[in-house]
């Protein structure tokens, strides 16, 4: 392959679409930028979460052990943001493309998996929205073929998990707030003020055994979900779409180069330059809420 300096990603959408139509196994790796237009703060961009609160001080098991009050307030803040958000056209374009009867009209016989680093649940809600807009597709959208095509590798913000190893109860919980003591703390967090201390006894508890509960996300140092299936999909992919990610967190950040190393193509959709995009086959700089619908429409 040409050296980095000679390699120039294509920026021409029609040639991307004709490449897309020649593919058999397509994966998309999504990050926080996909949800930015829905009002969910990204981690590293302007106003990003990680810039104000260093990720490693909040998204690790040790951080939760040391200061469950602060970590729960961080996740409560993000729950409230996600509850107020709606899927944007970028989520909807990916969701439509994940419905086999729709994809068949664009690329007969191709498989698709969306591997998302996002925990906000918007990609799954996009599927629900399409089922409402197109009742004739509802049964297919509820089928395992579509349900299982969405791989939330960093867990789910709205899952609440028991911390007792003897219990481990997990439930999907959309309560706002997730417990009374967290009410109103989202404003403090948003204004980057020192947050109030909440006693452990007042933090979310497991409904089954009463132990302290934690957010159902994958923290740094924890094993991402669906790794085995993702590995199978990455090995057979002939196209990897990388959307709205700074590609700094592993193992997600490594999938595009793995696909390319096996002869597959990589298309990056981002508003800014991002790690590794200079080696991409296609690069579409712009908001994914407008570029993705053009690419997958
Ligand atoms: C693990 C859930 C062991 C919680 C998150 C090498 C190999 C393996 C691991 C490592 C490795 N090197 C280091 C590690 C450890 C670590 C890691 O990667 N550290 C980093 C800091 C170097 N990885 C782990 O710990 C992982 N676990 O490795 O286990 C293992 C692994 C494999 C096999 C066996 C054992 C677990 C990491 C998961 C951490 N949890 N999230 C929560 O959300 O609170 S990470 C979290 O941060 C997100 O999920 C996401 O992954 C990451 C944020 O990144 P982005 O999504 O990219 O967001 P960001 O803000 O950075 O960028 C936004 C982008 O969007 C920007 O580029 C911007 O320009 C763009 N954008 C903005 N607006 C738009 C837009 N683009 C398009 N349109 C727009 N409108
Ligand atoms: Zn329990």
Q: Which residues are annotated as a binding site for substrate?
A: 75, 78
Please state the pTM of the whole predicted model: 0.96
| Number of Cα atoms under 13 Å in the Cβ half of residue 113 | 25
pLDDT band at 150 (very low <50, low <70, confident <90, very high): very high
% of residues, the chain, pLDDT over 90: 87
pLDDT at 1: 47
Helix residue ranges per DSSP H, 5-142? 13-21, 33-36, 49-52, 55-58, 61-66, 68-83, 89-97, 100-106, 122-133, 138-142
Residue range 91-139, pLDDT digits in tens: 999 999 999 999 999 999 999 999 999 999 999 999 999 999 999 999 9
Residue whose CA is at the smallest distance from ligand 1 atom 73: 33
> If you measure from the C-alpha of residue 72 to the centroid of ligand 2, how many angstroms do you get, rounded to a whole number?
17
Could you confirm whether 91 is annotated as catalytic? no
Q: pLDDT: is 142 or 193 the higher one?
A: 142
The structure tokens listed for 22 are 């020649």
In this prediction the ipTM stands at 0.96
Q: Average pLDDT of 262-284? A: 96
270 lines ligand 1 (CB under 6 A): yes
Q: pLDDT: is 189 or 187 the higher one?
A: 187
> If you measure from the C-alpha of residue 272 to the centroid of ligand 1, how many angstroms do you get, rounded to a whole number?
16
User: Residue 146: pLDDT above 50?
Assistant: yes
- DSSP secondary structure string, 117-143? ---S-HHHHHHHHHHHH-GGGHHHHHS
pLDDT at 190: 75
Q: Average pLDDT of 155-167? A: 98
pLDDT at 48: 62
User: Residue 52: pLDDT above 80?
Assistant: no
Residue range 2-16, pLDDT digits in tens: 555 677 899 999 999
pLDDT band at 55 (very low <50, low <70, confident <90, very high): low
What does the mean pLDDT of the chain come to?
Answer: 94
> Do 293 and 89 meet the contact criterion of CB atoms below 8 Å apart?
yes
> If you measure from the C-alpha of residue 168 to the centroid of ligand 2, how many angstroms do you get, rounded to a whole number?
6
């Amino acid at each position: 392959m040409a050296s980095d300096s000679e390699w120039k990603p294509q920026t021409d959408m029609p040639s991307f679409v004709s490449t897309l139509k020649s593919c058999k196994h397509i994966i998309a790796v999504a990050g926080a930028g996909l949800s930015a237009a829905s009002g969910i703060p990204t981690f590293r961009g302007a106003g990003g979460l990680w810039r104000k609160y260093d990720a490693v001080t909040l998204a690790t098991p040790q951080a939760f052990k040391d200061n469950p009050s602060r970590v729960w307030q961080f996740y409560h803040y993000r729950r409230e943001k996600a509850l107020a958000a709606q899927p944007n056209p970028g989520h909807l374009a990916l969701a439509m493309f994940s419905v086999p009867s729709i994809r068949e009209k664009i690329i007969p016989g191709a498989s698709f998996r969306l591997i998302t680093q996002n925990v906000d649940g918007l990609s799954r809600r996009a599927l629900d929205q399409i089922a409402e807009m197109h009742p004739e597709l509802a049964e297919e959208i509820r089928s395992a073929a579509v349900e299982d095509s969405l791989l939330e590798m960093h867990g789910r913000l709205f899952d609440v998990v028991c911390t007792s190893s003897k219990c481990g109860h997990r439930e999907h919980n959309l309560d706002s707030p997730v417990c009374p003591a967290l009410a109103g703390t989202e404003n403090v967090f948003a204004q980057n003020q020192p947050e109030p201390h909440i006693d452990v006894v007042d933090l979310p508890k497991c409904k089954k055994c009463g132990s302290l509960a934690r957010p159902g996300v994958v923290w740094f140092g924890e094993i991402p979900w669906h790794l085995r299936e993702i590995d199978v999909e990455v090995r057979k992919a002939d196209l990897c779409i990388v959307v709205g990610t700074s590609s700094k967190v592993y193992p997600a950040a490594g999938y595009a180069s793995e696909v390319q190393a096996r002869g597959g193509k990589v298309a990056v959709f981002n508003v800014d330059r991002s790690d590794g995009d200079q080696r991409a086959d296609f690069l579409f700089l712009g908001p994914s809420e407008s570029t993705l619908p053009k690419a997958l429409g």
